[in-house]
A and B are shown apart, each in its own frame.
Chain A
Amino acid sequence: MSTDSSTSKETKNPTVDGSELIEFKDVTKRFGSNVVLDNLCFDVSSGKHVTLIGPSGSGKTTILRLLMTLVKPEEGTIKVAGEYLTHETKNGKLVPAGEKHSREVRKNIGMVFQQFNLFPNMKVLRNITEAPVHVLGLSGDEAEQRARELLELVGLTEHIDKYPSQLSGGQQQRVAIARALAMRPQVLLLDEVTSALDPELVAGVLDVLRDIAHTTDITMLCVTHEMNFARDISDDVLMFDAGRVIESGPPEKIFSDPEHERTREFLSAVL
């Protein structure tokens, strides 16, 4: 686990075999008899921005929730930065991970939710500093410094002393982005982050995310229905249908010249 920083440097080079930042291997997830993910395999290299598209119910959000350990897979394994997320090795055997192990691996991952999920009982500043102070062990001053920098990044410096309920949806979502980034994660998961916003507020949030995508080397895994945004920031687009990746490739290819009939249908419906 102490090799985190060295592996993350190595994984900047996507050609190094077996050093993918995120690895899904034969992952199956069912809810009751409903198979949401069906023997899914895919990798994401460090620093890449990957967008998951596809009809609702095709399993995109479930992938993010698996990575956040909000749901557990029935079969298969998930690795993050070379560490098993869903499992740990005990006495040479691979067993389902305990809470402590998951928490350690999860520290590499940040998530922004569709419904923001800011803490309504805390002001903006404390929303951002709570985890850096109590998880990473930063001092109050260090955490506040970090929060101020991030609020500047998302353009909300003047709202530092407000409660989330005093902000618009777009502003809340930008605070949520700052809150996730304050943990300095290697991976940022974006779960339909503009779907709950009024149309006029979407652009502000997407601009912030574009900025982050273009100026940092954070790895992004993004579920979105904003196809223009996906085209702008993605290195790779994965098209999902019925729990499987039916097509993947760079956005130019997927959006202008898709191979699969299902992809063409989907894109013509949303574009």
Chain B
Amino acid sequence: MQWDWSAVADFMPRFWDGVLLTLQALVLGSLIAFALGLVWALAQRSSLKIVSWPVTVVTEFIRNTPLLVQLFFLYFVLPEWNVTFSALVTGVIGLGLHYSTYTAEVYRAGIDGVPVGQWEACTALSLPRTRTWQSVILPQAIRRVVPALGNYVIAMLKDSPMIATIGALEMLGQARQFSAETFQPTEPITVIGIAFILIAYPASLLMRALERRLVH
């Protein structure tokens, strides 16, 4: 086996396209997962059974079925009902939705971890419900779950190649297409492997720095 630097050079333009798509999917997917997870977590705590029960069923269902199946469902089955999205949008929704069911659990643990005395202090001050959540409970809950949320961003990065299967050519998709055309798999696959480390490691350092800043 020969390492061919010219193959690396040839792969570069497509590689950068792939990096861009991976980062787009990661950032947008994370935003959806963070926001939607919080919505799930709050809805599951609702005293209205008609709210909490369906949310529990849906999130359990999503969490316990494979991401790949969900991506295929979104991309190949939804068009049967005339709902069509581009591959990237489908990938972002799929990643975000799937991971929102994990972040929901993270938020739930964070909220449960806020000492009961904080709730009692809010009652003693007659703070309204929304104010209690907004200024006391959630700031404390989210602060303590930032590290766990960060871990899911990195997990999502590592799951992002799955969106290549529906045609969103992120890094792995570009590498496979390149190697299929040139019969040179070694260089592109190696390059993207290194690229994953180069994205994931600084991301985890960033998370750790954030964690230090947030913990007083």
**Chain A interface residues toward B at CB < 8 A:** 68-70, 103, 106-107, 109-111, 113, 115, 117-122, 130-131, 134-135, 163, 165, 179-180, 183
Contact = CB atoms under 8 A, between A and B. Distances in A.
B136 interface: yes
Interface of B: 115, 117-118, 120-121, 123-128, 131, 135-136, 139-140, 143, 216
25 contacts: A68-B120, A68-B123, A68-B124, A70-B123, A110-B124, A113-B120, A117-B115, A117-B117, A117-B118, A117-B121, A119-B118, A119-B121, A119-B136, A121-B140, A121-B143, A122-B135, A130-B135, A131-B127, A134-B127, A134-B131, A134-B135, A135-B125, A135-B126, A180-B124, A180-B125
A135 B121 contact: no
Contacts of A122: 135
A115 B136 CA distance: 16
Contact of A106 (B117, B126, B216): B126
B126 A70 contact: no
A134 B128 contact: yes
Contacts of A113: 117, 120-121, 124
Contacts of B139: 121
Given A103-B126, A110-B125, 17 more contacts: A69-B123, A70-B123, A106-B124, A113-B117, A113-B120, A113-B121, A117-B121, A130-B125, A130-B131, A131-B125, A134-B127, A134-B131, A134-B135, A135-B125, A180-B124, A180-B125, A183-B126
B109 to A, nearest CB: 18
* Interface-centre pick from B124, B125, B135, B143 (highest chain A CB count, 10 A): B124
Contacts, number: 62
* Interface-centre pick from B125, B128, B131, B143 (highest chain A CB count, 10 A): B125
A180 B135 CA distance: 17
A120 B126 CA distance: 18
Contacts of A120: 140, 216
Contacts of A131: 125-127
Contacts of A134: 127-128, 131, 135
B215 to A, nearest CB: 10
B37 to A, nearest CB: 20
B117 to A, nearest CB: 4
Contacts of A121: 136, 139-140, 143
A135 B128 contact: yes
A130 B127 contact: yes
A113 B124 CA distance: 10
A184 B143 CA distance: 32
Nearest to B142: A121
Nearest to A179: B125
